[in-house]
Amino acid sequence: MSSQLTHVTIQDGWFREVSEGSFPGQAMRLRVKQILHVEQSPFQDILVFESTDYGNVLVLDGIVQVSERDEFSYQEMISHLPLFAHSNPKRVLVIGGGDGGVLREVVKHDSVEEATLVEIDEGVIHLSKKYLPHMAKGFDHPKVNVVITDGFEFLNKLSQAPTSEKYDVIITDSSDPDGPAEMFFQQRYFKLLHDAIKEDGIIITQASENVWLKIQNLKTLMHDARQIFPVVELSSCTCPTYTSGQLALMICSKKADDDVKVPKRVLSKMKERELFRYYNSRLHEASFILPTFAEKILVDESV
């Protein structure tokens, strides 16, 4: 491990993700080979390290965002669930996602004509291009447009724009709600999303929690979204470096009769294996099945 760089989360050769507020009584550790970058940007604490078993790892404010070993599970699910749930996505907006992983997945869809990424912290993009090139290659695609600004402000302006400027799919790939991403977990944000998509538009957001951690937070998030969208569903993906190895994804549609749990377009099995490492049409549907205890809490709002 580098003797020149240090970080408060790394001791005795191990990175520790500990948050008594978010996941009390448990923690996650990764063995560190070397620290690659440490920076306090205007928005957040940034750490990049090379692990012994998970490749390079990006950490924001002490929370793992991606590792090279397992990033594809999250990137593929948060991208392809809404894109395949839509019959013909042409304009796609990504809020956050400065590592480029979601962009990499979005442009795999031939129907997509424009993919715009809005990121507040330009430093994350630069560091991802340097240390996470397999993800950041999404920035090099000709369909991609990058805007460095606050996502909330971008959507606020977009809500007043004509229908032609609105999006078919919006993907919120934010960090957790402790810090600059807090606003992305509030009801007023969902209203902005609703007003920024077309009449058959779909949005998806990482829900920060999973059914094993603070399920009541998920219940509140879904309740707030249901005040804005007629269709609100919860999916999940497995990802070892996320807390408890699972992350919930909340997907909402503007159309009351839209079944986002079933893909509207399905590729051949051969094509799926060529394009994806995690997502497939069968997993699309299965990912919405909740354990019985979670279904009682999240679907029956009287609980």
Are 227 and 252 within one domain?
yes
CA distance 122 to 189: 22
Give the pLDDT band of residue 301 (cuts 50, 70, 90). low
Q: What is the pLDDT of residue 244?
A: 84
- Give pLDDT tens digits for 33-49: 999 999 999 999 999 99
The domain containing residue 271 runs over which residues? 71-298
CA distance 282 to 222: 24
Q: What is the pLDDT of residue 183?
A: 64
Q: What is the pLDDT of residue 45?
A: 94
Q: What CATH number does the domain containing 76 carry?
A: 3.40.50.150
Total domains, the chain: 2
303 located within any domain: no
- Give pLDDT tens digits for 168-178: 999 999 755 45
- Give pLDDT tens digits for 49-82: 999 999 999 999 999 999 999 999 999 999 999 9
Instruction: Compute the average pLDDT of residues 257-269.
Output: 97
Residue 288 has pLDDT above 70, yes or no: yes
Catalytic residues: 173
Instruction: Compute the average pLDDT of residues 241-270.
Output: 95
- Contact between 67 and 36 (Cβ < 8 Å): no
- Give pLDDT tens digits for 5-27: 999 999 999 999 987 777 788 88
Query: How does the average pLDDT of the chain come out, rounded?
Result: 92
Helices 187-196 and 151-158 cross at an angle (nearest 10°) of 50
Are 61 and 94 within one domain?
no
Are 50 and 139 within one domain?
no
Which phi and psi (to 5°) does residue 8 adopt? Answer: -60, -25
Q: What is the pLDDT of residue 180?
A: 52
Instruction: Compute the average pLDDT of residues 237-256.
Output: 93
How long a stretch of residues is the chain? 303
Give the pLDDT band of residue 302 (cuts 50, 70, 90). very low
Are 212 and 123 within one domain?
yes
2 located within any domain: no
Residue ending a domain, among 51, 67, 83, is 67
Residue 181 has pLDDT above 60, yes or no: no
1 located within any domain: no
Which phi and psi (to 5°) does residue 116 adopt? Answer: -105, 130
- Contact between 197 and 167 (Cβ < 8 Å): yes
Are 100 and 223 within one domain?
yes
203 located within any domain: yes
Are 119 and 171 within one domain?
yes
Structure tokens at 44: 């957040």
89 located within any domain: yes
Residue 270 has pLDDT above 60, yes or no: yes
Are 59 and 88 within one domain?
no
